[in-house]
Structure 1
């Protein structure tokens, strides 16, 4: 079994990085792990005119994005870990979605030309783990639950993937160290159940 973890945070002492280390440890207990650290690997998130042409032709132009796509194509599980800034994902994670979730490699169009079909039939789960300082209810009611709408439904479900779970950790700056430790236990339990 193989798990690919896509991670986006520029500071290696962050709570996000601690989450990455915990998830990687759990995944290693289950099998092979590939960590894609977008910041450490200097991923260019900008969608160029060449990338857009590649999108139309169903062919990656960015070799780094193409390599990331190949990693996912050989994975049983995909985990994304990132902070939420200004109610959305950071630029590198958005660029990863733009440049890796490509037609012909990540999904195909159905015969009707409207709906999409997942290419990676072996991909059992997609797990999204985020941190933010916005309270959960405020994020849902005032800011429209942007990650749920854009990433869970508007990207992965739209592309034909079924088993998607979003684990949201809210008000991270305001909570105690004890609360953070409890979150680790909950994340560990949930991730272990999904990586089977």
Structure 2
């Protein structure tokens, strides 16, 4: 299976980077073809320009500035997102990826004035993430990142595709043993992806 891994953390020595490496290793061990998209390392520009917004629904030109990323997304059979949660949201670079790449004609189509999901090439989705706050704090604010994965992204990929959401909460207070256990849990899950 061809897996697109979206990674969004700017620090190469972070626990997020360790998770990214574990994800890559697990997927490759399982025999998957991996397209590693490190948004920071690739210098992805998350800003949706005025021109891009004006041409957002123009299917002939809306992919022009992000065509390589669109092609990578459309070539994938599965998507794995490795990202921290900051202030109960995704880093701006990942949010910008969704804004600029999940376009009309890519992740959805307009049919008779209604949105019709169309990213059906993605047959599996996994998110690997860390939160600075506790699970309770995330729950109390509605846990938007979890809902993006389990509701928003699930709605545009292949219907009934499995979604895995691996979250390590309270990252600022977890022990080294808890971090190691989470790395192992993620690796085991993605080796069976």
2:165 corresponds to: 166
The separation in 2 between residues aligned to 1:11 and 1:126, in whole angstroms, is 24
Superposition deviation, residue 112 in structure 1: 4.6
The separation in 1 between residues aligned to 2:145 and 2:112, in whole angstroms, is 27
1:130 corresponds to: 129
The separation in 2 between residues aligned to 1:164 and 1:112, in whole angstroms, is 29
Confirm or deny: 8 A CA contact 1:132 1:172 kept in the other structure: yes
The separation in 1 between residues aligned to 2:141 and 2:42, in whole angstroms, is 31
Aligned pairs for 1:1-196 within 5 A: 1-29=1-29, 30-58=31-59, 59-62=62-65, 65-109=66-110, 111-119=111-119, 121-140=120-139, 142-154=140-152, 156-161=153-158, 162-194=161-193
The separation in 2 between residues aligned to 1:72 and 1:118, in whole angstroms, is 12
**Distance change in 2, residues 1:87/1:46 (3 Å):** same
Confirm or deny: 8 A CA contact 1:126 1:164 kept in the other structure: yes
Q: Could you state the TM-score of these two structures normalised by the residue count of structure 2?
A: 0.90
Superposition deviation, residue 22 in structure 1: 0.6
Give ranges in structure 1 of 5+ residues lacking alignment: none
Over 6 Å off, 4+ runs: none
- Residue by residue over 1:6-36, the C-alpha shift from the partner in whole angstroms, topping out at 9 and shown as x without a partner, is 1111100000100000110111122311111
Aligned pair count reads 188
Give ranges in structure 2 of 5+ residues lacking alignment: none
Superposition deviation, residue 117 in structure 1: 2.3
Confirm or deny: 8 A CA contact 2:106 2:118 kept in the other structure: no
